Chain A
């Protein structure tokens, strides 16, 4: 019973927070300086780790697939298949998981620490809405920068996949990329970007909410970070399924 109550409280809390943030964004309550700061922190600083993770994923994918396809005379499909799978699934999901671990945890711990050290009350005492100062710039930065991170991560996975295919079955670049036109369409790129934007907003909203409800000192902040990251990862897979079903 307690688990259900707690889950409902969390879902309700995130929904209310999303509503407040959306209203504030529509009213134009955005500070450009704060937004740019967050775009750098959330986006630019996450590119290296996302590129590393997706590069390994691209290499592993090709390692598993290349010889199998080559042995059936379909080696030239490797690049196209890799891009199709990565655009639809791997790039948004893996980038989302990387962002949930790196950025989500940082946001929850920052806001949680601000809460237990009365900094959120200080913001309100200074006539400043914490949603305006903390949540809105982060959510918007998440929506804008997650696709940017995905582009870099996507290039990483593509070239790592090519390097693996070249090394394993001796494909030239033109052969590796030959099936892209026939297997990949603009719709796949759209789906990738839509998923990235949805995951970006979700990760930041869940992480901010986890920080806002943190209580009980350092241990409480640690617990909030864990809860936030776990919930983010579950939501990434759930939303991935929903978006794929709707857009697929």
Chain B
């Protein structure tokens, strides 16, 4: 459904992506991992067509989004949803209006028709009591759920998550991770999640791609993060692997 073919991208003199090629399997959750500044979020922006690479192709659902006009991109984006790292909720609109933005302004449906769908989705995500609140009045976890609802309402085929658990407390991280898993399954979407939160990736991803030094390494199943002998995987996941091994040791001692 999504593939990168020899993508190169620089911002000024800084080359972010050198020669990135990988595919995202349809109907699964793919996690894009990498250290800070490695170009993970850039991958999502390329898929959305928010930026264009200097070289290479990004194929989304059979179409090369790097060559499309803004007008065609607008149509192409209708099959994608994106949850931004800092949620990017519209400050001036309340929760219900944020969630109902797409049906109201893009599909141009009357609010009376949109409202029941918004209310149903807010109920699903545990936000029924917050419909009239402004984004500034919500906690971090609630804002993340509103951002997810805003994308889910138009049933996209592809959902992109930029650091969905960053900045959340451990409990809320678990709640949001579970919610993502649940929603992906319920709405049968292809998910791409950018993260450096290895436990969450391990829990909810089906497939892992690691970006280091501007290049992509397909790791495969998340369990490979623990087993892989690839030097870049060992380098990136070493502290987490050590933590898991120590924790397993302590658990077996206690038993």
Query: Which of A's residues lie within 8 Å of B, judged by CB?
Result: 31, 110, 113-114, 117-119, 121-122, 124-129, 133
Contact = CB atoms under 8 A, between A and B. Distances in A.
B102 A118 contact: no
B230 interface: no
A133 B105 contact: yes
B84 A122 contact: yes
Q: Which label, helix, strand, loop or mixed, suits the secondary structure of the A interface?
A: helix
Contacts of B80: 125
Contacts of A128: 74, 101, 105-106
Given A127-B75, A128-B101, 8 more contacts: A117-B86, A119-B90, A122-B88, A124-B77, A125-B77, A126-B77, A127-B74, A129-B74
Nearest to B79: A127
Interface string B63-92: 000000010001101101110111011111
A129 B86 contact: no
Interface residues of B, number: 24
B91 A118 contact: no
A129 B150 CA distance: 17
B17 interface: no
B50 A124 contact: yes
Contacts of B48: 124-125
A31 B86 contact: no
By Cβ-Cβ distance, the 3 closest A-B pairs, closest first, are: A122-B88, A118-B88, A125-B82
Interface of B: 45, 48, 50, 70, 74-75, 77-78, 80-82, 84-86, 88-92, 101-102, 105-106, 150
Contacts of B75: 127
Given A127-B102, A127-B106, A128-B106, A121 B84 contact: yes
B50 A129 contact: no
Contacts of A124: 48, 50, 74, 77
Nearest to B48: A125
Given A118-B84, A118-B86, A126 B101 contact: yes
Contacts of B82: 122, 125
B88 A127 contact: no
A206 B89 CA distance: 25
Contacts of B50: 121, 124-125
Contacts of A114: 90-91
Nearest to A121: B50
Given A31-B105, A124-B50, A127-B106, A119 B77 contact: no
Contacts of A31: 105
A117 B90 CA distance: 10
Contact of B91 (A113, A125, A126, A133): A113
A50 B228 CA distance: 69
A35 to B, nearest CB: 13
A125 B47 CA distance: 10
Contacts of B84: 118, 121-122, 125
26 contacts: A31-B105, A110-B92, A117-B86, A118-B88, A119-B89, A119-B90, A119-B91, A121-B45, A121-B84, A122-B84, A122-B90, A124-B48, A124-B74, A125-B50, A125-B84, A126-B77, A126-B102, A126-B106, A126-B150, A127-B74, A127-B75, A127-B78, A127-B102, A127-B106, A128-B74, A129-B70
A125 B81 contact: yes
Nearest to A126: B102
A121 B150 CA distance: 14
Nearest to A113: B91
A121 B88 contact: yes
Most buried by A among B48, B82, B105: B105
A114 B88 CA distance: 8
A118 B105 contact: no
